Amino acid sequence: MEVSVTIAAVATAVAPGQGSVAIVRISGPEAEAIGRRLFVAPGQQLWESHRVLYGHVVDPASGERVAEALLLLMRSPRSFTRETVVEFHCHGGLIAVQRVLELVLAAGARRALPGEFSQRAFLNGRLDLTRAEAISELITARSRRAAQLAMAGLDGGLHQRIGALRERLLDQLAELEARVDFEEDLPPLDGDAVAAELAAVRGELEQLVAEARQGELLREGLRVAIVGRPNVGKSSLLNLLSQRQKAIVTDLPGTTRDLLEIELVLEGVPLTLLDTAGIRPTTDRVEALGIERARQALAAADVVLLLFDLAAGWTPEDQALRELVPEAAVLLVAGNKADAAGLPVGLVPAGAGLPAALHFSALTGAGRQELVAELLRRCGAGPIEGLQVALNARQRDLAAVAAASLAASLEAAVQQLPWDFWTIDLRAAVRALGEITGEEVGEAVLDRVFSRFCIGK
């Protein structure tokens, strides 16, 4: 990465007629010179760090005023990247902002790659890797709870927790390596105490790995396909969960003929609900296309909510649908119309010709809370409100590697092998934790992490 090159990008979303302000950001050794070349500030305004100037961006070749703007100068090291940064705050829109960026690039800056500003902040010591990743997660958060979790990472909670575990392992590694080289000059080492400490750190890592599933739910959300025979209440359930009349509901079978997607947040977890056409034999070409899309949604969903009519009972058609659900998908069987069948709501065990299912009524709303709670429980959401930090996929994999390495080191302890056998896997665990925070990470890994960021960040 060329950290000495000046980079630039539009740092805000740009669309015609959308957004009142757009920001063109420049970072690098030539940022201030480019700003002075392109910006004309009337009167006696001073070019001082962290001062806002008013004026116009001007094409130096023609003298044409391209945009009315504010200029913010942040001299190194008091900026996000710890380089000198200049920002043009222009009127929102599309054409004028793109022209400003074109002038900046023509003046000597290079177009920034996705995440390159954040990557420079990391390389210049402004951020550790967990904080940098938290920025990306904050930007892409789909729920308030996901944003809170990202802020915990941005505040350093994850770095502190991983860093503390790594320090504990480094302490034990130092004791072991000292005995490898100078055992006759040092007091005896309590191997049981070392093993106990390694086991304790391993337990905390395994807990973090387990909690990562909850963080993944908050960040990525779930695709939930609502499937069932025609007229069992799939669209009514979608309206009940979204608490809006999103889908047309009638007493006629086959009303839903296309795939309807609704995004909402339940208990802090983002969900994409897929209301599918009722699956049945049909000669109607339009309905048949909807049924084919329902089958595709069934195959691609994270969770399948299989709905049946409690008043009609469990039918062979319901059983056939159950057998279509992929083995990898989470399945929740739910019985609708509990009011018409005169049955209680909530989780009900199998009996009287009915499978174990969650009973509810889409008409009255009874059982909605129990349905949501059971749906999230089966997906591993657990007590999300108590979650303080959560590893992302990259961090989770590294934590799992560290835990496995500690398990191997503990096996050496059980077999009473010499100290140097203990240290082999212990070093691997330390390296894995260092990769999480960025103490030990290669350029290829950094490129892969920051390439997922948006341009301008």
SS3 for 123-182, per residue? HCCCCCHHHHHHHHHHHCCCCHHHHHHHHHHHCCHHHHHHHHHHHHHHHHHHHHHHHHHH
Sheet of 21-27, strands arranged across:
39-40, 51-58, 65-74, 85-91, 21-27, 7-10, 110-111
> Which band of pLDDT confidence, cut at 50, 70 and 90, is reported for residue 255?
very low
Q: Is the pLDDT of residue 256 over 50?
A: no
Predicted confidence at residue 83, as pLDDT, reads 95
Q: Calculate the average pLDDT of the chain.
A: 82
The Cα 35–Cα 37 span in angstroms is 5
* Res 292: pLDDT: 61
Residue 269, pLDDT above cutoff 60: yes
**pLDDT at residue 49, rounded to an integer:** 95
Interval 203-212: pLDDT, tens: 999 989 988 8
Nearest to 74 by CA among 126, 133, 119: 126
For residue 248, the model assigns a pLDDT of: 36
> Domains (ranges, CATH) in the chain?
7-128 (3.30.1360.120), 139-217+389-437 (1.20.120.430), 222-301+303-378 (3.40.50.300)
Does the pLDDT value for residue 246 go beyond 50? no
Question: Could you tell me the pLDDT band of residue 251, with boundaries at 50, 70 and 90?
Answer: very low
> In Å, what is the CA distance from 286 to each residue of 134, 274, 319, 324, 361?
45, 18, 25, 22, 29
pLDDT bracket for residue 185 (50, 70, 90): low
Per DSSP bridges, beta strands 357-359 and 330-336 are parallel
Least confident interval from 85-94, 117-126, 212-221, 307-316: 212-221
Tell me the C-alpha distance between 21 and 15, whole Å. Answer: 11
Question: Is the distance from CB of 340 to CB of 310 less than 8 angstroms?
Answer: yes
